[in-house]
């Protein structure tokens, strides 16, 4: 199959306990902003919006604590200093997010700072600050994984119970119960929203007939691979695969059969390429394969293998399906559009030379040498 969908990778919840997943959730921004995330992705935009809104809530809560604490100095000096420090932390992360659209700190850090200040304030006698915990439960559910959100929510509830044990009132028990219900409901709603968001993103980025990625998703991936080459000399190649005489297949056998041919070709390619590679439907009967860390010589071998495998498929009762394939690696281009144009010209050259063949834009010697040193063998 094509490379693992990054949206699914972000959204998936681990099936069992994993220290690696815990470290990721605690000390990285993976759930909100993976380091290689595409800012144009729907899921990224959703999480970015939640982060911005929750930062405003955290800042408002801290400002209220600062105002209340400053009126009772010097007894509340430590609480005031902590609230000011936490507010500065939230302001810094907020400015970074609003100005740069990226994440200065994992969301758990400002969340922990804000929750700590609010609990401290409640323990100091400011019972009215209890109600700030409700929007902060929304922040837990919206910004963290389910496991971490539940764990922190339980820690907050346990802290409240410890603080209230000396003077437990019925209303305190009721409020704590409502807080637990709020956390459970918000986590459920957030999971539902995340699932629907992922489904919308899948619809926006994939071809509904074949399941391959679409052209919209191809361009940012090509740009990313071009940037990797320009910064780190990491090679990658595009294969442009065009089914020969596809119109005659539709005319002779009908569009339903033509659709099954496309699906069969996509399944073969998806099963053959590596997990790090990606398959896109460019349009009609044209497909693009993005081979990661593969220069033109190895990409030509891959293309030849795919051409022979497709020709050997029994997709039609009385004829073979053949393809013409163009190949070009990233060392020959300066932009994604130019890269696509070059591989397109190579594919048309294959058409002009009789179809059912592979044509490539030749790599420079430096690119080939780099591949020999750095590129793993094609499986």
Spatial CA neighbour of 57 closest among 122, 120, 134: 134
Euclidean distance between CA atoms 358 and 218, whole angstroms:
21
Which entry of 37, 43, 285, 371 is annotated as an active-site residue?
285
Which among 125, 229, 215, 136 is positioned nearest to 182, based on CA atoms?
Answer: 136
Q: Let me know: does 256 contact 368? Beta carbons within 8 Å.
A: no
Is the backbone peptide bond immediately before 168 cis, with ω within 30 degrees of 0?
Answer: no
- For residues 181 and 31, give the distance between their C-alpha atoms in angstroms, rounded to a whole number: 24
Pairing of strands 286-292, 323-329: unpaired
CB 347 within 8 A of CB 303: no
In angstroms, the CA 291 to CA 302 distance is 9
Which DSSP category does 206 fall into? B
Rg (CA), the chain: 28
- Minimal CA–CA distance to 332: which of 308, 304, 310, 364? 364
- What residues have CB less than 8 Å from 223, skipping those under 6 apart? 336
Measured between alpha carbons, how far is 64 from 60 in angstroms, rounded to an integer?
A: 6
Residue carrying structure tokens 């936490």: 86
Measure the CA–CA gap between 343 and 217, rounded to whole angstroms. Answer: 17
Using alpha carbons, select from 82, 31, 33 the residue that is nearest to residue 61: 82
Residue 179: CA atoms inside 13 Å, Cβ hemisphere, count? 26
Q: Is 285 labeled as catalytic in the residue annotation? A: yes
What is the β-pairing status of strands 236-243 and 323-329? antiparallel
Q: What amino acid positions are annotated as catalytic residues?
A: 285
């Amino acid at each position: 199959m094509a490379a693992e969908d990054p949206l699914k990778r972000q959204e998936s919840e681990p099936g069992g306990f994993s220290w690696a997943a815990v470290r990721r959730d605690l000390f990285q921004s993976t759930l909100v902003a993976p380091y290689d995330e595409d800012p144009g992705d729907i899921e990224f935009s959703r999480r970015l919006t939640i982060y911005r809104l929750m930062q405003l809530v955290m800042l408002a809560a801290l400002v209220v604590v600062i105002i209340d604490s400053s009126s009772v100095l010097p007894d509340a000096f430590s609480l005031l200093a902590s609230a000011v420090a936490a507010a500065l932390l939230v302001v810094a992360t907020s400015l970074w997010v609003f100005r740069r659209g990226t994440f200065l700190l994992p969301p758990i850090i400002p969340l922990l700072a804000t929750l700590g200040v609010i609990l401290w304030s409640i323990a100091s006698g400011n019972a009215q600050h209890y109600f700030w915990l409700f929007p902060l439960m929304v922040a837990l559910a919206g910004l963290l994984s389910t496991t971490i959100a539940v764990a922190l929510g339980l820690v907050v509830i346990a802290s409240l119970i410890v603080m209230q044990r000396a003077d437990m009132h019925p209303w305190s028990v009721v409020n704590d119960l409502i807080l637990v219900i709020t956390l459970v409901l918000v986590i459920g709603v957030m999971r539902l929203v995340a699932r629907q968001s992922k489904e919308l993103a899948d619809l926006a980025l994939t071809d509904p007939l074949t399941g391959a990625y679409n052209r919209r998703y191809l361009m940012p991936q090509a740009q990313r691979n071009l940037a990797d080459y320009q910064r780190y000399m990491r090679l990658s190649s595009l294969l442009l695969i065009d089914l020969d005489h596809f119109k005659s297949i539709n005319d002779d056998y009908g569009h339903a059969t033509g659709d099954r041919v496309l699906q069969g070709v996509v399944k073969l390619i998806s099963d053959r390429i590596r997990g790090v590679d990606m398959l896109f439907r460019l349009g009609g009967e044209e497909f693009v394969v993005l081979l990661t860390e593969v220069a033109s010589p190895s990409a030509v071998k891959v293309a030849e293998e795919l051409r022979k495998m497709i020709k050997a498929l029994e997709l039609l009762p009385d004829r073979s399906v053949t393809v013409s394939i163009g190949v070009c690696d990233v060392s020959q281009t300066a932009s994604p559009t130019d890269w696509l144009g070059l591989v397109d010209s190579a594919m048309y050259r294959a058409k002009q030379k009789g179809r059912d063949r592979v044509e490539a834009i030749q790599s420079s010697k430096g690119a080939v040498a780099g591949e020999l040193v750095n590129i793993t063998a094609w499986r």
